[in-house]
Amino acid sequence: MKEVLRPYRADDAERLLIWRNSAEHRRWSFHSREISREEHLEWFSRFLTDSRRIGFFLEIEGISVAHVRFDSCENQGILNISIAVAPEHGGKGLGSKLLELALGRSEIADRASLISADTFVDNQASIRLFAKQRFVQVGTLTRDGKEFITWRKPLGKDIQRYPLILLGDTLRVSKLGGTLKKFSAKNFLIVPPSITTRQALTAHFPGLLEWLRVSQVGALFLVDSSLSGFCEEWKTLFPDGVYDLGEAGLSVGDCSQISTRAIDQIASLAFQKRSRLEGLNFPREFFPAT
């Protein structure tokens, strides 16, 4: 059986419209209304000329059986997946094959440090598909009354390498730390919330500020709005800036949202700094002996 993965072509427009408007695909789409031909053609021609986005078809013996689309997101360095198998070819392993082949393509690695996907909580085929490709389930959110799972898969080692400092409420920081560990990211320090001044930080991690100054990377993530009063001082200390989850409009209580948004922010920074991250590890003495 000859399998070929090929990028979208202009003459795919008709096939994509038919699949998109099929009952099966609309059922699992956030926008489930039928799409008009005019709207579809306009969208597809914009897609093909946008170098940040890319899509592929899987062909078996010359027949197009499935496609996957990678859309750019608000955060640079993240691509969001939409995947669909021709309704008559579902359940034959083609979705899994397509995803595996597409994720290995250099066009994807060049554009992103993180792949994101959202699946409705009852879309079993899709859930199994992403779990099998080792996407990590980061949280569960609700949009327009529909509950969905947020999946993320790091590409390459950018996120693992990115030096990161987490400060804030213990529960939320440890949840975020748990997600980072699932991504095999170990290059992060957790600062206890009692440390709120430059002097206390220096006493806790001697040499940290100097290391950050020299390396020119390192973000601080605040996950507890009660600490945001110290933000102005922290902002002067961290070259990549302070990402204040309170300012980002996230409710302190929502761990799912915080983890998802924070992971996206980390991935975006890691992507922008990727050329400088090689070998940039926090000195071992910053980590408590285990």
Ligand X SMILES: CC(C)(COP(=O)(O)OP(=O)(O)OC[C@H]1O[C@@H](n2cnc3c(N)ncnc32)[C@H](O)[C@@H]1OP(=O)(O)O)[C@@H](O)C(=O)NCCC(=O)NCCS
21 belongs to the binding site for ligand X (CB under 6 A) = no
* # of chain residues touching ligand X (CB under 6 A): 23
Question: Which residue among 5, 21, 25, 280 contacts ligand X (CB under 6 A)?
Answer: 25
Residues 47-106 that bind ligand X (CB under 6 A): 82-85, 90-96
- In angstroms, give the least distance from the CB of 109 to ligand X: 20
Q: Does 15 bind ligand X (CB under 6 A)?
A: no
Stretch that binds ligand X, among 118-126, 184-192, 241-249, 275-283 (CB under 6 A): 118-126
* Of residues 93 and 178, the one with the C-beta less far from ligand X: 93
Q: Does 129 bind ligand X (CB under 6 A)?
A: yes
Position 124: which residue type?
Q
Task: Find out whether 94 and 60 touch, Cβ atoms under 8 Å.
Answer: yes
The stretch near ligand X (CB under 6 A) out of 126-134, 177-185, 217-225, 230-238 is 126-134
**Span near ligand X by CB under 6 A; candidates 21-29, 31-39, 188-196, 210-218:** 21-29
Give the residue with the Cβ less far from ligand X, 116 or 257: 116
What is the torsion angle, in degrees rounded to the nearest 10, for the CA atoms of residue 152, residue 121, residue 13 and residue 95?
Answer: 70
Stretch that binds ligand X, among 122-130, 157-165, 219-227, 241-249 (CB under 6 A): 122-130
